[in-house]
C-alpha cells in the first residue's frame, strides 16, 4: 500500500521505515511557532522543566500578532515575554511590531515554511501551510515547550480524507467559498483527526492566496491539516519568498530536498478514509451563519441580513489578492452610512503593497479604516469588538458565540468580495449586485 503526501512527510521526519494511520510516532519538526497568547505559556513550561537552551534557534518562530500592537498592559507583558526570550535564545525569527504580520500570512511570505516541511504551531490555524504541501498543524503550548527542548513532537498518524473539486468556478467564487462549502457539507467534525487533502482541477487553477484560505480553515472541520500537493504555482511562490528574505532562511536546509526518495505527491495506491468528489460549477459565494462555520448558506439566501460592521483581513483572507478584490468592488463607492468597515492587511508587505497600488486610498475614501496588521477583531481581541445585538460580516474563520465580542453579537463568515459588496449596501450582498 502506498502513502498519502501527509504520511510521506511524517515518515520522512521520523527515521522509521514505515508508518501507518493510528500509530503513535515522535517526529523531528522543521519549524515550531508561537504567538503572544501561546508562547508565554510555552516559555514558562520550558523553563519550569529545567531546560536552558532551545534545540535550534533557527527553527523557532515567534510572532506577537494576536493582541499586538499591545492592546493593554497585560498584553504588553505577554509580548515582552516573547521579546525577552527571543533575545536570550538568539532566535532570529522573532518579529517585532514593524516587521510583524499575522503569523500564517507572514511565515509563507518570509519563506520560512516550504513544501515537505513538518511544522507545528501553538495556534490552530497553523494548518494554513498545508497549502504549500507541508504537514503543518496546530498544537498546544506544552507541545511547543517540548519542541523548544528537543525539536520533537508526538503524533498519532492521521488518516487522510481526499476532496476532489471539478468544474469551473463562477465569477466571485474562490478558495474561501470552496472551504466554506466543504465545511458546510461535512460539518465541524467531518474531518476530525484526519488530514484533508484538497485536489482536482479546480485546486490546480487556484492562486496561492486562495489555497491558503482553504487550508487555513481545515481545522474548522476538525482537520489536522489541509494539504495540497505542490505544483509549479507553489514552487514559484516558494522561490519568490525565499529569494526575498535570504538572511531569515539561510540557516535552513531546503526541506523539500531532504528526502529525495519521496516525491511530494500521494501514491496512486494510497489509502483514504473517504473520498469526496464535487462538481463546484454552480457554486454561489458562500456565507457561514452564526454560530458555527458549518452553518453555510448561499449568499442569495441572506440578503435580508443587515450589518453593523464588515471586517476584511485575518490569516484566512488578509493577503494582497484578497484586498485587491475588495478594493476593486469598493473603488469609487461609499460604505453604507452607519456601517463600520475595518480593513486589516495581514503583513507589513501586504500593507505597503496596498499603499503602492492605491488600495489603501480606495478603502479610506470609501469610508473604511485601514489598520496595521493584527489578528485583533477576529478573536474578539481589539480593533473592532461588537456590542450587544450587532452583526458583523467578516472574512475571518470563526463565528462562535461571542467570538468577536458580546455573546449576543453575530458573525457571518464570507469572502473578501462578499464582504466588500456587503459593506456598500449594509446587508449581505452578492458582489455582482454592486458592480
Interacting residue with other proteins among 88, 251, 402, 433 (CB under 8 A): 402
Total residue count of the chain as it appears in this document: 435
Interaction of residue 145 with other proteins, rule CB under 8 A: yes
Interacting residue with other proteins among 130, 184, 230, 381 (CB under 8 A): 381
In the complex with other proteins, which residue's Cβ is closer, 276 or 291? 291
Q: Could you tell me which stretch among 74-82, 207-215, 243-251, 349-357 binds other proteins (CB under 8 A)?
A: 74-82
Interacting residue with other proteins among 41, 118, 362, 413 (CB under 8 A): 41
Interacting residue with other proteins among 17, 24, 98, 332 (CB under 8 A): 24
Interacting residue with other proteins among 4, 38, 241, 348 (CB under 8 A): 38
Retrieve residue 137's grid coordinates. Answer: 498543524
Interaction of residue 389 with other proteins, rule CB under 8 A: no
In angstroms, give the least distance from the CB of 250 to other proteins: 29
In the complex with other proteins, which residue's Cβ is closer, 145 or 178? 145
Interaction of residue 370 with other proteins, rule CB under 8 A: no
Q: Which of residues 149-208 bind other proteins (CB under 8 A)?
A: 149-150, 154, 188-189, 192-193
Interaction of residue 89 with other proteins, rule CB under 8 A: no
First to last CA, the chain: 52
* Interface residues toward other proteins, by CB under 8 A: 24, 37-38, 40-41, 44-46, 48-51, 66-67, 72, 74-75, 77-78, 121-124, 126, 138-143, 145-146, 149-150, 154, 188-189, 192-193, 219, 222, 224, 292, 379-381, 398, 400-403, 407
Amino acid at each position: 500500500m502506498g502513502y498519502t503526501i501527509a504520511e510521506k512527510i511524517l515518515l520522512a521526519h521520523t527515521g522509521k521505515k514505515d508508518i501507518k494511520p493510528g500509530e503513535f510516532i515522535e517526529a523531528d519538526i522543521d519549524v515550531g511557532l508561537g504567538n503572544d497568547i501561546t508562547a508565554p505559556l510555552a516559555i514558562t513550561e520550558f523553563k519550569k522543566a529545567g531546560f536552558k537552551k532551545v534545540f535550534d534557534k533557527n527553527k523557532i518562530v515567534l510572532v506577537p500578532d494576536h493582541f499586538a500592537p499591545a492592546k493593554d498592559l497585560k498584553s504588553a507583558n505577554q509580548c515582552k515575554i516573547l521579546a525577552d526570550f527571543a533575545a536570550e535564545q538568539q532566535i532570529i525569527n522573532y518579529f517585532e511590531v514593524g516587521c510583524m504580520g499575522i503569523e500564517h500570512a507572514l511565515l509563507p511570505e518570509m519563506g520560512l515554511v516550504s513544501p515537505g516541511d513538518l511544522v507545528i504551531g501553538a495556534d490552530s490555524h497553523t494548518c494554513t501551510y498545508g497549502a504549500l504541501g507541508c504537514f503543518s498543524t496546530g498544537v498546544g503550548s506544552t507541545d511547543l515547550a517540548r519542541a523548544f527542548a528537543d525539536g520533537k513532537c508526538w503524533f498519532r498518524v492521521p488518516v487522510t480524507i481526499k476532496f476532489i473539486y471539478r468544474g469551473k468556478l463562477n465569477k466571485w467564487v474562490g478558495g474561501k467559498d470552496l472551504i466554506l462549502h466543504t465545511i458546510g457539507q461535512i460539518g465541524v467534525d467531518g474531518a476530525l483527526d484526519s488530514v484533508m487533502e484538497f485536489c482536482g482541477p479546480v485546486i490546480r487553477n487556484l492562486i496561492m492566496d486562495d489555497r491558503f484560505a482553504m487550508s487555513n480553515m481545515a481545522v474548522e472541520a476538525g482537520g489536522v491539516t489541509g494539504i495540497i500537493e505542490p505544483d509549479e504555482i507553489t514552487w514559484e511562490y516558494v522561490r519568490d519568498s525565499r529569494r526575498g528574505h535570504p538572511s531569515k532562511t539561510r540557516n535552513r536546509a531546503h526541506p523539500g530536498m531532504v528526502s529525495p526518495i519521496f516525491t511530494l505527491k500521494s501514491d496512486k495506491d494510497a489509502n483514504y478514509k473517504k473520498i469526496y468528489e464535487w462538481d463546484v460549477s454552480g457554486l454561489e459565494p458562500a456565507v457561514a451563519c452564526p454560530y458555527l462555520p458549518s452553518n453555510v448558506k448561499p449568499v442569495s439566501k441572506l440578503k435580508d441580513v443587515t450589518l453593523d460592521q464588515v471586517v476584511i483581513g485575518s490569516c484566512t483572507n488578509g493577503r494582497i489578492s484578497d484586498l485587491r478584490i475588495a478594493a476593486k468592488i469598493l473603488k469609487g463607492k461609499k460604505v453604507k452610512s452607519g456601517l463600520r468597515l475595518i480593513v486589516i492587511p495581514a503583513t507589513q508587505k501586504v500593507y505597503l503593497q496596498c499603499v503602492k497600488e492605491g488600495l489603501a486610498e480606495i478603502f479610506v475614501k470609501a469610508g473604511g479604516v485601514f489598520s496595521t496588521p493584527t489578528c485583533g477583531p477576529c478573536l474578539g481581541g481589539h480593533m473592532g469588538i461588537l456590542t450587544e445585538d450587532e452583526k458583523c460580516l467578516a472574512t475571518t474563520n470563526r463565528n462562535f458565540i461571542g467570538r468577536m465580542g458580546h455573546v449576543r453579537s453575530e458573525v457571518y463568515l464570507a469572502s473578501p468580495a462578499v464582504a466588500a459588496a456587503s459593506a456598500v449596501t449594509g446587508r449581505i450582498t452578492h458582489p455582482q449586485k454592486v458592480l
